[in-house]
Amino acid sequence: MGTARLTIDLNAVVNNWRALDAMTNCETAAVVKANGYGLGAPSVARVLAKAGARTFFVAAAEEGVILRSALGSGPTINIFSGHMDGDTDIIRSSELTPMINSVDQMLRHVEALPAAPFGIQLDSGMNRLGMEPEEWSAVRDIALAQNPTLIMSHLACADEPDHPMNAQQLKTFREMTDGLDVPCSLAATGGVLLGSNYHFDMTRPGIGLYGGMPYEGAQSVVTLDIPVIQTRKVIQVETVGYGNRWVAEQDSTVATIAAGYADGLIRAMGNGARLYAGDLQVPVIGRVSMDLITADISHLPEEPTTLQLLGTHQSVDDVADYAGTIGYEILTSFGNRYARTYLE
């Protein structure tokens, strides 16, 4: 096989969802935006629905259409970006529930789809999406008269448990929602881990489902095995790859493998990243190029047919550290050339 194999353990996704659900006494939804964090939203959502998830979140209405096709009628599909201009027809036809972010969106929704469900997103301090306290105070009674299905906000620093922003946002969210007879949601994965004060009526984990931090107890979901295209002997002082960035300090054996930044393996990884041949570390050398990565296999007892980037020895966050980024970016950057295998 000329392309890398991405193996996605859907049983691990379900186990992670169940474990996060067990930490709360409320409904646990599932965030499957960005094509299920790069792993395939239809496949992920179907197994989670079978496991008991009844509410899903995506970023945009177009993602909701794909998800509705996969899930059929029944589960709630919430749209973080709300009711955008031009979304009315697909919100209606796919039975989507927008999280209204502004007065303009609210007017658009109740005028175009007066009987259709909607939720409300509040800005509790992140300054990204949602109504700010003053705006919410001005329209709250009008909004509540339309019977919203959910009121939500999002934490900016939940992956840092001791960050004072967490307590500040909790205080603000409580001030904006106390006494209201509407289900509320504040916590994603990090918020679940902060404890019951943050759970309210629904949590909505995302990255934790897929094996990423800050959920340290998550089961690994993704394995990435990359075929070796060619090996070669490189003599001392010869160079490898673009820009001559790696110079052989001794005679070496170099493997060239079939993946690169076009496949989501970020160029910034470069020298310093590690692959694995069984239990043995294999250093990446030179620059990551569009379709290829080179590795020093001089120390291996035999030439491998594949090298593993993600799996038993390395998580998405380990790989992210090589590139100075986060596990979210690694997952959502996976390209279309991988041969994908789903384990159920």
Helices marked H in 87-180: 88-93, 103-112, 133-145, 164-177
Q: Are 226 and 275 in contact (CB under 8 A)?
A: yes
User: What is the distance between the alpha carbons of residues 326 and 344, in angstroms, rounded to a whole number?
Assistant: 27
Nearest of 294, 318, 298, 178 to residue 243 by alpha carbon: 294
> In Å, how far from its chain's centre is CA 123?
21
Catalytic residue status for 33: yes
> In Å, how far from its chain's centre is CA 321?
16
For the packed helices 41-51 and 10-22, what is the interaxial angle rounded to 10 degrees?
50
Give the chain's radius of gyration (CA, Å): 23
Catalytic residue among 210, 215, 242, 261: 242
Catalytic residue among 33, 37, 198, 276: 33
Q: Would you call 305 helix, strand, or coil by DSSP? A: coil
What are φ and ψ of residue 233, in 5° steps? -90, 135
Instruction: Give the DSSP letter of residue 238.
Output: -
Catalytic residue status for 233: no
Work out the end-to-end distance of the chain between its first and last CA atoms, rounded to an integer number of angstroms.
Answer: 23
Catalytic residues: 33, 242
